Amino acid sequence: MEGNPFTQFVFQIFLFCAIVIIGYTCNFYYLAFLSSRRKDENSVSEIGEPTITIQLPIYNEKYVATRLVDAVCAQDYPKEKLRIMVLDDSDDDTVNMMHQTVLKYQSQGFDISHVRRGTRAGYKAGALKHAMKSTTSDFVAIFDADFIPPKWYLKKAIPHFTNSKIGLVQCRWGHVNQNYSALTQAQALNLDFHFLVEQKAKSNSHLFMNFNGTAGIWRKECIDDAGGWHTATLVEDLDLSYRAQMKGWRCLFLPDIVVDAELPVQMNGAKRQQFRWAKGSIQCAIKLLGDILLKRKIAFDAKLQAFIQLTRHIVFPLMLIQFITLPILLASEINLYIVSFLPALTLATYLAMGPGAYLLVINKMYKNNWKSHAKALPYLLVYSIGMSVNNTVAVFDGAIGKKNEFLRTPKYGIIKNDDDWRGKAYNLPFTKTTLLELFFAVYGILGIFIAIFSNNPIFAPIIGLQAVGFFYIAWLSFSHTRYKRPKFSDHTITKDEKMANHFYKLALGGIFAIIVIGAYMAFVGYSTDVYPLDMSVGLLDRTMASADPQSILVDLQAIKGHLPVNGNPVWIFPTDTTNFARIQTDLNVMIVSAEKITAVPTDSAAYHTGITDIRERANVLQENLADAIPYMYVSFSNIIFSSIWIAALLAIFAVLNKKKQQMKEYDFSKDV
């Protein structure tokens, strides 16, 4: 590979990211193969009706909590063997609702209690840990607030504990609102990949699988033996299940027992959920990987798969690095084609490794019904790409050990397609991450122009898909934001809140205007600063291939007009090779040479010597311009403009954040 040290370094980074991403992708296809193998059925027999405690950890879930308790109390299981614990850490209407609901079922003879700790210490893990102190049953079932277990759930799941070494039975999540929007369809397909590929493959083998935090049943002895619930990470479910398997317990996935649940319908809620999962996985990797890798009784492939599962979210920062470096490499004329003389093969390879292979997996997952599910694949691709910024921040948060509050994913009781969530409580505002998503979206537009004008249009769709993903996530983050904050059911929207909502809409308009201006300035900057250099590189190509002095003169004069008269784009440690004044001088010499050989016979030695000299000089100038082009993007003026652009976005965000804090203070003053 040719190029200056900077482009060589960037290329090595790009190549490293590509290799790691391909490795994680191929591992997913390996798990898809494992999941498709036939497995000896887990022995199932009647084990009677053991005692079971159903624990329901909830926090501010007034739209779905009652539905959950109703479904749990409808279980076809003897009341005398069933205990229900509503672990309620709420501080809104949910508390009164649960109090009344628990009293109702107590009057019907259910052993149900409303557990109030008076603190949120440890969050969900803390609530479960507190509940275990008074749990004496043989088994513990756990459901999050948005789940709706069918009445036959316990009767079908409990018999799978025939083997005394099975410590956990995890059931598959269903989706009551899968077709509510493109967002819910993307999430549903993503979760099905997890359950029907990853969980099924690991359950079919001796690989470690994880508890998904809900829709599962634990053997109490297993929880105790593994050390109980820990509060050090944001994914207490993954943490406990791995510690249990390190102790020799088995985990079993039951794909045929489906528990319906509600998918997040607000983008900011979906981002919060993804953030928690990504950060928690990295936290668990830091906490557990050392012990897993050193434990002799764990097979090598199980260690490898544990490493991959706990670290798989590093793919997201690697995707961002690739996205940033690709336009730089294209502008530097680095050959990125898999086969240099067949550029289309590059795009075909991307399609085969990505959407093509995923379609095969979908076909295996859903059999005859695969086509209806395959329609959600484009949504999932856009969603996953756009979510890479959010998850990258989560990875770095987890890696540096930053402590975060366990932020629940709000649910609104959305089941039918015409159900609305926008006027309800718990709506989340966009975060600073959204501004980063906007930055990458605009950068993607610039990358598309670079791909086209650098004669690499085959990469334009690849960059374009990523830019669409960032725009999609950012746009929904903004459009799904509401300033209405009805914390209690009797709350009416005040004049201050209405003004805040109007202010928010104006601020959104300002952000949109800044984005448009930034995109326009980026286009103008490219067309005036970078594109003339790309044009000059192309003309120098033609100069090196030409033997006609007159056409060479025309091209050289055009190049002189395209290039700056003086200056050096390398403003830190500049060299003479990228000095435009020197390049203009060389062009003048080449023009004089071309003028001289116009009067020389074409079959003379002087003619051939002159043409050879011009071609050699053109080759050198082309290399000089290739070195200069990357620095045109990071010119001093571009850095200043980008800083002002980012500062303007941050300023509007800061004002919005201040307004949000004012509304919180207003809410608090009213509550007091």
Domain segments of the chain: what residues? 1-38+163-476, 483-672
Q: Which residue of the set 146, 192, 237, 260 is catalytic?
A: 237
Contacts for 20 with CB less than 8 Å, ≥ 6 apart: 314, 315, 318
Q: Residue 332 above 80 pLDDT? A: no
Query: How remote is the C-alpha of 386 from its chain's centroid?
Result: 6
What per-residue confidence (pLDDT) applies to 664?
53
Report how far residue 380's alpha carbon sits from residue 200's, in angstroms, rounded to the nearest whole number. 21
Confidence class of residue 348 from pLDDT cuts 50, 70 and 90?
A: low
Most confident of the ranges 280-284, 453-457, 545-549: 280-284
Cβ neighbours for 586, distance < 8 A, ≥ 6 positions apart: 617, 620, 621
Give the Å distances, CA to CA, from 634 to 534, 577, 642, 660: 16, 18, 10, 35
pLDDT band at residue 187, thresholds of 50, 70 and 90? very high
Mean pLDDT of 124-136: 95
Q: What is the dihedral of CA 356, 362, 364, 369, to 10 degrees?
A: -130
Active site residue 496: no
Lookup: tokens for 139: 């088994």
Q: Which fold has domain 483-672?
A: f41 fragment of flagellin, N-terminal domain (1.20.1330)
Query: Would you give the end-to-end CA distance of the chain in angstroms?
Result: 68
Residue holding tokens 């502008």? Answer: 331
**Which helix (DSSP H) or strand (DSSP E) does residue 515 occupy?**
helix 495-525
Query: Which two three-digit tokens encode residue 40?
Result: 């000896």
CA proximity to 247, closest of 149, 328, 310, 166: 166
| pLDDT (0 to 100) of residue 489 | 46
Is the entire prediction scored with pTM above 0.95? no
Which tens digit of pLDDT belongs to each residue from 558-588? 999 999 888 888 877 777 888 999 999 999 9
Q: Is residue 116 classed exposed, middle or buried when 0-12, 13-18 and 19+ CB atoms within 10 A define those classes?
A: middle
Residue 146: pLDDT above 90?
Answer: yes
Active-site option among 89, 144, 260, 534: 89
Render 8-55 in DSSP notation, one character per residue. HHHHHHHHHHHHHHHHHHHHHHHHHHHHHS--PPPP--------EEEE
The fraction of the chain above a pLDDT of 90, given in percent, is 52
Beta strands in 49-122 (DSSP E): 52-58, 82-88, 111-115
Would you state the pLDDT for residue 340? 52
Of the candidate ranges 189-193, 211-215, 279-283, 573-577, the one whose mean pLDDT is the lowest? 573-577
Per-residue pLDDT, averaged over 17-38, amounts to 89
Is 89 catalytic? The answer is yes
**233 in Cβ contact with 239 (< 8 Å):** yes
Q: What is the pLDDT of residues 467-521, one digit of tens each?
A: 999 999 999 998 888 654 444 444 455 565 566 666 666 766 777 777 777 777 7
**Residue 137 DSSP symbol:** S
